[in-house]
Amino acid sequence: MAKNNPSMLDVQNNPFIPSTESQKKRILDALGLSAFDELISDVPQQIQTREIPLESGISEMEILQQVDEIGDKNQLLISFAGGGIYDHFIPKTVNSLITR
């Protein structure tokens, strides 16, 4: 599908493609917003971030370690969401294997 029409994203075969600008605009329009900043306006400014400070040219394992270190700064709260929400680990290869 994506090969015949470059404007179409083949999200099923490549789930790592970010939203296009037109998709973002459609989402904001559907929510009645004009900008992404309106969407996150309730999030305190001091915890908003647009970039994650990661070193360049490092391995996936090193990136995961750095992201874990950043995440360790978060305050852990008890979740009463239920429905099977709990900490779990899914190896990166699982997605590749189940989409074959």
CA 93: distance to chain centroid?
A: 18
78 inside domain? yes
In three-state secondary structure terms, 81 is coil
16 inside domain? no
Structural domains counted in the chain: 1
15 inside domain? no
pLDDT digits (tens, 9 = 90+) for 2-38: 444 444 445 556 566 678 889 999 999 999 999 989 9
68 inside domain? yes
Residue type, 20: T
Token pair 């852990």 is found at: 76
For the full predicted model, state whether its pTM sits above 0.75: no
Token pair 């075969």 is found at: 13
5 inside domain? no
28 inside domain? yes
